[in-house]
Amino acid sequence: MNGSSFKADQPRLVLIFSALTVGFVFLLTLIWLIGTRSVAELQAISILASDISLDYQNRLTMAARIREEEINVVAQAKLVRPTRNLPVQVAPFGVSLSEAKQSFNKTLDDCKKLWDERARQQTITQTELIAWREVEAATPDFLASIETLVTLDERRSNPAAVTTPPPTGPVNFNQETFVTARDRLDEAVTRLRNTIISDRAEILKNIASQQSIAAGEVSNMRWTAFFFGVFVAAAVFIITRNQILALRRASRSAQDAQDFARSVFDSQTNDILVMAENGELLTVNQAFFKRYHLTPSELLLQDYRGALAHLPEVALFIRNVLQRSDKNSTHRERIKVKTKRVVRQSQGFPAESRLLDVYVSPLTIDRETRGRVVVLVDVTEEEHVREELRRNRTLSAVGQITAQVAHELYNPIGAVKLNIDLLGMQIGDGDEDLKQSVARLKRGAEHLSTIVTDLRYLTRPRDPERKPTDLNKLLDEVVELASDKLDRTRTEIVRQYTANLQAGQFDSQQLRKVFLNLLINAVEASPQNSRVVLQTFFVPPADAGRFAEFNGQHGALGVSVVDFGAGMSEETKTRIFEAFYTTKKNGTGLGMMITQEIIKKHGGRIEIESEEGAGTKVSVLLPV
């Protein structure tokens, strides 16, 4: 799965958002337009109906006022008529009649303006206009009949006040004229009102028709909007569905890629920790959990210091890296640690020393550093193999030199041993001191012979010739061999032997060389007049397994050489078993290497505990 194919499967989320946005905006716009248009039409029709209703109501009101003013004028005229036979005129009745006629004329003028304005605007029908003209034409006759009637009555009641001759004709002329004029005006007003009412009904019918048409248009627009909405919804649904399916496929692909990456991540045998820039732990691979027997809950909400509590040296290195300003570089350091949480340690065994290559690399996301990736590579075994290869190469190089030297020394030493034997046979029984000196010479020659044999052993290693060996007795012999050295340095030997220590199947000659080398090293590392402690002990089978890389199923025998001298530095402890590495002025650097080789051939283990200025303890464990 490459990056390009994964990118190609990515859904176009912007298309989903665009489709949904366009669809909803379109539907909202369509609804808004339909609603706006419908409201506008209904408002226009409502306003028109209201205006027409008000206008018709106004005209009806004006027609009714003509009728009211007509009645008022007639009433006032009837009040004036009874006063015609009185010797004195009654002024208030005449004034009321005059005001009634003025009000009638004013109403008539208002009506004339109203109907003339509507005629000019062409907002009234021709029938209504004709009816108004009839009212307008009947009004002068009505007023004239009222005036004539009142005037004649005044003349009859006061002939001296009349200067115009009375009209000729029958006596009831004025009454008939008045009735006729009044009936004509009443009929015209009635016709005008009926015409207005009829026209209003027709107009209202037209308005209702317009409302029905508008409702039909709204209904049509509703269905149009519905079909458009269905079309848009279907389009949006199809687009969204396709993109959601693509999103699901991309999500599955991303999940597969994530699972694949996680599988690769967890399949790594090295310990990997991923953390944020602030040190918060993001994830850890399975190798880390299994190696140190941790659970995810133990690392929940922790930072790298909590996760690496059992590796404080590594946590310190990571802290130093995080404090640096260079965040885009990879930092590496080889760190020796004592693991505090593995299977053996969780069962009560002592901590093991491991060698780790620690890599701290930047965690880059979108070209930005978002954290750190810590990789712990255990190179302990690899370093052991490399050390073994170096040792073998060194042995091969030394072997070519020492083989010839050993060959040249072997024969002279044999001659020395023979002459020492002859000297021993020539000494009488009474000279015990001389016999002891010869015995020491003999042991020294045998020791030289052993050294030469060991030098030859570097090129042709031999397996131990196992025989029952008492380690307490063997150590006494070693002390005897080193007596000259002990006397010169005035070193006290403190024997802390385990009584009745069982014998083991060992090569006494090889072990004598081992313990003699360790004793001489202890004496040379100690000041004058000091002491060296020799210890022997038995390790039960239950405790023998606590020592890493050592299999003592039936227990082990142990020997410890303890001095209180200068101690060793870290470098010396690391390189002490290297060929030709020595801190002595006249040392060869082969003693500890041969010692380790002999102990390995016996299936044993050598351990060194040392502190500068406090002394050194070297322990040899040999399986029974």
54 SS3 class: helix
Q: pLDDT value at position 614?
A: 86
Contact 530, 564 (CB under 8 A): yes
Give yes or no for residue 125 having a pLDDT over 80.
yes
Nearest to 391 by CA among 608, 603, 597: 597
Which residues is 492 bridged to in the sheet? 531
Phi/psi region, residue 358 (left: phi>0; alpha: psi -120 to 50; beta: rest), is: beta
Nearest to 447 by CA among 515, 523, 513: 513
Give yes or no for residue 116 having a pLDDT over 90.
no
Query: In sequence order, what are the residues at sequence separation of 6 or more whose Cβ sits closer than 8 angstroms to the Cβ of residue 269?
Result: 287
User: For residue 362, how many C-alpha atoms fall within 13 Å in the half-sphere facing its CB?
Assistant: 14
Q: pLDDT value at position 552?
A: 54
For the stretch 491-525, pLDDT in tens is: 899 999 998 888 889 988 889 989 998 999 899 88
Contact 585, 515 (CB under 8 A): no
Output the DSSP codes for 137-177: HHHHHHHHHHHHHHHHHHHHH-GGG--SPPPPS-TTHHHHH
Nearest to 138 by CA among 70, 174, 184: 184
The highest-level CATH class for domain 33-230 is mainly alpha
Nearest to 331 by CA among 373, 371, 275, 272: 373
Query: In sequence order, what are the residues at sequence separation of 6 or more whose Cβ sits closer than 8 angstroms to the Cβ of residue 588?
Result: 580, 582
For the stretch 429-458, pLDDT in tens is: 667 777 777 777 877 777 677 667 656 655
Phi/psi region, residue 335 (left: phi>0; alpha: psi -120 to 50; beta: rest), is: beta
pLDDT category at 534 given cuts 50, 70, 90 is very high
Residue the block writes with tokens 């470098």: 571
Tokens representing 407 are 């060959």
For the stretch 256-289, pLDDT in tens is: 887 887 788 778 888 888 888 888 888 888 888 8
pLDDT category at 353 given cuts 50, 70, 90 is confident
pLDDT category at 173 given cuts 50, 70, 90 is very low
Phi/psi region, residue 205 (left: phi>0; alpha: psi -120 to 50; beta: rest), is: alpha
How many Å separate Cα 283 from the centre of its chain? 13
Q: pLDDT value at position 376?
A: 87
Q: What's the average model confidence in pLDDT over 94-106? A: 83
Q: What's the average model confidence in pLDDT over 461-478? A: 86
Give me the CATH code for the 268-378 domain, please.
Answer: 3.30.450.20
Give yes or no for residue 44 having a pLDDT over 80.
no
Q: pLDDT value at position 395?
A: 63
The DSSP code for 499 is: T
The span from the CA of 529 to the CA of 488, in Å, is 10
The span from the CA of 470 to the CA of 41, in Å, is 124
515 SS3 class: helix
Computed from CA positions of residues 362, 367, 371, 376, in that sequence, does the dihedral angle turn out positive or negative? negative
Arithmetic mean of pLDDT over the chain: 77
Listed by start position, the domains of the chain span 33-230, 268-378, 382-462, 464-624
398 SS3 class: helix
Which helix (H) or strand (E) is 316 found in, with range?
Answer: helix 312-322
How many Å separate Cα 265 from the centre of its chain? 20
Fold assignment, 464-624 = Heat Shock Protein 90 (3.30.565)
Q: pLDDT value at position 10?
A: 47
Q: For the chain, how far is it from start to end, CA to CA, in angstroms?
A: 58
